[in-house]
């Protein structure tokens, strides 16, 4: 007599949840790819605009610092507070160095902004299919150290996404554990869940992520930067026209700031006999 085959019970709800989670991950990956591609387009145009206008923007911000510093210097002189005068000068020098560093970083970031190639867009799809499998916040809810590591990881992913850093996305997607360990953050378990309660929470979390990225994509497409990106891609010369118009506005603003700085210099000279130019 032939032995009866064992009966294997498959929980239909469990199977359904596995499918729902798989579908949610797939949808989230599609949205992340779409957002990254659209954001990259906008960033490329904005980077080109920055390169056109950097000199004007940097001059404006330096003049703002000078005006602010001279006003504080003048106020300190009026009160006769020598220590406050010294502190104002220190604050100015610190702010000036930071502003210069910020512009160098912005320029470096702008130089890296390039239109994604067809191969890179295809790779994004592959990467995000792996990255969406790392969404497991509820699993670490009762483990503060691991939850902190998880938040650091998702922050790194989001920063790479916003910066269009495909290399960083690739590094995380190909070996998330290696990336985490390299950062010295500890260890996380990203294996598939099996329990109903865990799968339900994961599905809910993925739905939240889908809603969030959908909203971000809508906001991006409704932004003036996106509208300008679309226009500049459709009509040649638009970027140069906008840059020229914005440059004129900045020149007017800078001229007004120079007047304010000169006026403050006269008041400082009148009150102290010192040249403001010599101070800053």
Query: In this predicted model, what pLDDT tens digit does every residue of 53-80 receive, in sequence order?
Result: 999 999 999 999 999 999 998 898 888 8
Dihedral sign from CA coordinates of 129, 132, 134, 139: negative
* CA quadruple 143, 146, 151, 152: dihedral sign: positive
pLDDT at 5: 55
How far apart (Å, rounded) are the C-alpha atoms in residues 129 and 26? Answer: 7
Contacts of 68 (CB under 8 A, 6+ apart): 92
Higher-confidence residue of 215 and 137: namely 215
* Predicted TM-score of the model (pTM): 0.79
Instruction: Give the tens place of pLDDT for each residue, 167-196.
Output: 999 999 999 999 999 999 888 888 766 678
pLDDT tens-digit map of 144-160? 888 899 999 999 999 98
Residues in the chain: 280
């Amino acid at each position: 007599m032939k032995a009866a085959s064992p009966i294997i019970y498959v929980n239909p709800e469990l199977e359904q949840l596995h499918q729902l989670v798989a579908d949610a991950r797939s949808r989230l990956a599609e949205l992340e790819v779409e957002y990254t591609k659209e954001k990259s387009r906008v960033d490329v145009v904005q980077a080109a605009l920055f390169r056109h206008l950097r000199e004007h923007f940097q001059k404006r911000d330096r003049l703002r610092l000078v005006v602010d510093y001279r006003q504080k210097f003048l106020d300190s002189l009026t009160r006769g507070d020598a220590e406050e005068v010294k502190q104002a000068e220190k604050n100015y020098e610190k702010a000036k160095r930071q502003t210069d560093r910020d512009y160098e970083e912005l320029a470096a970031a702008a130089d890296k902004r390039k239109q994604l190639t067809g191969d890179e867009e295809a790779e994004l799809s592959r990467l995000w299919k792996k990255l969406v499998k790392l969404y497991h916040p509820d699993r670490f809810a009762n483990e503060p150290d691991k939850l902190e590591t998880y938040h650091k990881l998702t922050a790194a992913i989001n920063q790479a996404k916003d910066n269009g850093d495909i290399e960083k996305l690739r590094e995380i997607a190909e070996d998330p554990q290696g990336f985490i360990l390299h950062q010295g953050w500890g260890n996380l378990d990203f294996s598939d869940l099996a329990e109903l309660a865990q799968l339900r929470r994961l599905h809910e979390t993925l739905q939240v992520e889908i809603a969030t990225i959908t909203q971000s994509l809508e906001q991006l497409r409704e932004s003036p930067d996106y509208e300008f990106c679309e226009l500049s891609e459709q009509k040649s010369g638009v970027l140069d026209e906008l840059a020229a118009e914005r440059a004129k506005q900045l020149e007017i603003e800078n001229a007004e700031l120079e007047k304010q700085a000169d006026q403050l210099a006269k008041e400082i000279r009148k009150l102290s006999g010192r040249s403001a130019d010599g101070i800053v």
